[in-house]
Chains A and B, each alone.
Chain A
Amino acid sequence: MKCAFLASALLGLTCSGLLAAEEIVAVVGSQARPYQETLEAFQGAVGQPVKVINLSETSAHIPRTTRLIVAIGGKAALESYPKDVPLLYCLAPGILVPSNGRKAPTAKIYMTPKWPLVMSALKDIQPGLRTLGIVTLPESQNEFNSDLEKVGESFKIKVIVDKLDSSDDLPDHLRRLGPLVNALWIPPDPLVITANNYRLIKAFCQANHMPLYVPTVELVESGVVAGVAPSFKQVGEAAGQTAKKMLEGTLAYEKIFPESAVVAVNLPTAEACGLRMTEAQLKKIDRLIP
Chain B
Amino acid sequence: MRTIKKFAFLTLITLTQSSLVLADATEGLQFYQEELKVVTASKKEETVNEAPGIMTIVTADEIRRYGARNLEDILERLPDVYPLGAHFYRDNIAATRGDVSQPLDLHTLILIDGRPYESSDSSRHNLIYDAFPVDSIDHIEMIRGPGSVLYGSGAYTDVINIITKVAKSKTEFQASEGWGSFNGNRIAANMATKQEDFKMQLGAQYYHDTGWPFAANDEKIGAVHPSRFDEAPYGQKEMGLNFNSSYKNFRLSGFYAHEDDTIMGTLPIWPGGPARYDHFMWNAGYTQPLTERWDASLDFTNNRDYQYLYNSNPTGPSIAFSNTQSFDYRTELTVRGRPMDDLNIVVGGTSDYQTGPANPTTPQNIDTVPSYSQNWWTGYSQVDYKPLKKLKLITGAQLDAPAGLKSQVVPRVGAIYSFNDNWGAKALYGEAYRSPSAVELDINNPGAIKGNPALSPERVSTTDLNLFYNTEHSQSGLTAFYSKQTDLIVRVPYQGNESTFANAAALTVRGVELETKLSPIKNLQLTGSYTFQENRDGNDVLNTTLMPNTMVKTGLSYDWNRGVTASIFNSFYSKRFDDVILNPNRLAVNPNASPYNWLTANLALHMNKLLNVQRPYEVDLSLYGINLLNEAVYDPEIDFKQINTIPAEPGRSFLATMSIHY
Contacts and interface: CB of A to CB of B under 8 A. Distances in A.
24 contacts: A29-B38, A59-B341, A59-B342, A73-B34, A73-B35, A73-B38, A83-B293, A92-B35, A94-B35, A94-B36, A102-B292, A138-B169, A168-B523, A168-B561, A175-B612, A190-B33, A190-B35, A190-B36, A190-B39, A191-B36, A193-B32, A219-B25, A222-B25, A290-B17
Contacts of A194: 32-33, 36
Contacts of B523: 168
A167 B612 CA distance: 17
A253 interface: no
A194 B452 CA distance: 62
A124 interface: no
A58 B31 contact: no
The 10 closest A-B pairs by CB, nearest first: A218-B28, A222-B25, A74-B38, A190-B36, A83-B292, A221-B21, A219-B28, A94-B39, A190-B35, A193-B32
A34 B31 contact: yes
A280 interface: no
Nearest to B168: A138
A176 B56 CA distance: 38
A74 B40 CA distance: 11
B29 interface: yes
A102 B292 CA distance: 8
A214 B29 CA distance: 11
B614 interface: yes
B47 interface: no
B260 interface: no
B561 A198 contact: no
B39 A95 contact: yes
B338 interface: yes
Contacts of A80: 338, 341
Interface of B: 17-18, 21-22, 24-36, 38-39, 42-43, 168-169, 289, 292-293, 338, 341-342, 386, 389, 522-523, 559, 561, 609, 612, 614
Contact of B29 (A82, A83, A219): A219
Interface in A186-229: 188, 190-191, 193-196, 198, 214, 216-222
Contact of B292 (A33, A84, A169, A219): A84
A218 B25 contact: yes
B31 A218 contact: yes
Interface in A178-192: 188, 190-191
Contacts of B386: 59
Nearest to B27: A218
A32 B34 contact: yes
A176 B29 contact: no
Interface in A61-103: 61-62, 73-75, 78-80, 82-84, 92-95, 101-103
A103 B289 CA distance: 13
A289 interface: yes
Contact of A95 (B38, B338, B522): B38
A127 interface: no
Interface string A272-290: 0000000000000000011
A196 B34 contact: no
A89 B31 CA distance: 16
Nearest to A191: B39
A8 to B, nearest CB: 33
A101 B561 contact: no
A83 B338 CA distance: 12
A60 interface: yes
A95 B609 CA distance: 31
A171 interface: yes
Given A78-B38, A80-B338, A216 B33 contact: no
A93 B35 contact: yes
Interface in A133-188: 138-139, 168-169, 171-172, 175-176, 188
Contact of B32 (A29, A93, A138, A175): A93
B617 to A, nearest CB: 13
A82 B22 CA distance: 41
Contacts of B293: 83
A78 B28 contact: no
Interface in A20-52: 29-30, 32-34
Contacts of A101: 289, 292
Given A59-B389, A190-B32, A216-B31, A196 B39 contact: no
Nearest to A84: B292
Given A74-B39, A78-B42, A221-B22, 9 more contacts: A32-B34, A60-B341, A95-B35, A101-B292, A171-B561, A172-B612, A195-B29, A216-B31, A289-B21
Contacts of B609: 169, 172
A171 B36 CA distance: 21
A196 B612 contact: no
Contacts of A73: 34-35, 38
Contacts of B22: 221-222
B134 to A, nearest CB: 19
Residue with the greatest number of chain B CB neighbours at <10 A, chosen from A214, A222, A290: A222
Nearest to B338: A80
A41 to B, nearest CB: 16
Contacts of A176: 614
Contacts of A59: 341-342, 386, 389
B38 A168 contact: no
A93 B612 CA distance: 32
Nearest to A173: B614
Contacts of B17: 290
A101 B288 CA distance: 12
A75 B25 CA distance: 22
A95 B42 contact: yes
Contacts of B614: 176
Contacts of A198: 29, 32
Given A30-B34, A59-B389, A218 B24 contact: yes
Contacts of A190: 32-33, 35-36, 38-39
A221 B39 contact: no
A132 B34 CA distance: 28
B289 A139 contact: no
